[in-house]
Each structure stands twice: as C-alpha cells, then as structure tokens.
Amino acid sequence: MITTIPQSVEELQRLLGDQQYIADRGLAISLFLALKLGRPTFLEGEAGVGKTEVAKALAAGLGVEGRPVPATWAEAGTATIAEAARALPGLLVPRENLAGFGVGAARVDGDTVSQVYAGPGDRRFALVQRAAGHVAPPADGDEVGVVVRGEPGRYSYQRGQLDWLEGGIARSLRSPTLGLAELLAVAEGLEPA
C-alpha cells in the first residue's frame, strides 16, 4: 500500500531519513519532482554510490511492496546476448558500430529481454523486447503514429519511447536523451543477434 507522496522536498528528506538514508538536497529535489510529476527517474553512477539503497529507502518510506531489489546483476537475471537470443528467438541488437554506443549484459525476465546502451556524453537508450501479440495504436495526444523498420508503431514525446511490433515481438526503444529521429535511426540499425 502506497502512502501519500511527500508534499515538499524537506518532507521527502525526512521520509528517507526515517529509513536511515540521508539524501542531499539535489537528489531529494530530483526524486520529489519525479514523484510529483509521476515520471521515472534515471539513477546512474559508479558501483557503491547508493543507487539501490535510495530506491530501497524510497520504496520502504512510501510503503511500496513488491519483489526485492536484486543485490547483484547476476541475481537480476543478466545474460549474454547469445543467452538472451536463446530466451527470445528473433532478438535484435544494434550493429557493433552504432555511433560509439556500448552495451552491458542483457537482462532476461521470462519472455522479456532488456538492454541498456551508453554512448558519448550522456547519450543512452534502453532496448526492451518481449514476445507479444500486438502494440496498441497511439493512445493520447502525446503519441504519434510512425513507421519503424517498415512496421506501424508509435512514439511518445513525453516518455521518449518508440514502440513497434516486428516478427511477433513487441520492441521498445526508450531514451531521455535521444529524440524521435535518433531513435528511428537506432531502430534501423538493429540486426538479428
């Protein structure tokens, strides 16, 4: 059961403090705005800086229940691209020379494969693929219909997300830093794993 969302940055800092997590003002502002706007927050940093701990403290403070946060990537179900391709036949991956983007391990969760790619500067995107029957048409004024790799799809400007169905697999490219044209270029650069 989720409790009420804090009404101020200071209230959020107290909520985290009650969970034995001390958040500086910058982090508290980012988390507060994400909660108020109902938007996700991307936490990045070196291993051991507290990304998982702040997520646990925030979830506990808000009373969010769910499966535990994995302690390691191995525990989260990471896999090599070859293992991911066996889990989801038809998996697509970016060409190796895709403008300097590098990939970590793939995460496999049932019939869903997720990969995060990081490029120069703060350029990054996530590629999520899952076995599915369809991708819904654009649902609101924020979404537009697009053609992706010759297939009908949709793009949400607010979420920075491009979705399409190809070969019975729902595919999604998400990025806080790349626009529609760049995500379409990434999609065109995908090839079988």
Q: Are residues 93 and 129 in the same domain?
A: yes
- Residue 77 has what pLDDT? 53
pLDDT of 110 reads 76
- 58 shares its domain with 79: no
pLDDT of 158 reads 85
Q: Determine the pLDDT at residue 74.
A: 43
Using alpha carbons, list the distances in angstroms from residue 15 to 12, 37, 67: 5, 18, 21
Contact 113, 129 (CB under 8 A): yes
Domain that includes residue 167, residue range: 75-192
Question: pTM to 2 decimals?
Answer: 0.58
CATH number, domain containing residue 164: 3.30.200
Contact 84, 108 (CB under 8 A): yes
The torsion angles phi and psi of 133, rounded to 5 degrees, stand at: -90, -30
DSSP state of 92: E
Shared domain for 111 and 150, answered yes or no, is: yes
pLDDT tens per residue, range 70-108: 444 444 555 677 777 777 888 888 876 565 677 655 788
Q: Compute CA 156 distance to the chain's CA centroid, rounded to the nearest angstrom.
A: 14
The count of domains in the chain is 2
What pLDDT is recorded for position 104? 59
How many angstroms separate the Cα of 94 from the Cα of each of 9, 36, 47, 115, 193?
Answer: 40, 35, 26, 10, 9
Q: How many residues are present in the chain?
A: 193
What per-residue confidence (pLDDT) applies to 72?
A: 45
Residue 48 has a pLDDT of: 72
* Residues lower than pLDDT 50 in the chain: 1, 69-75
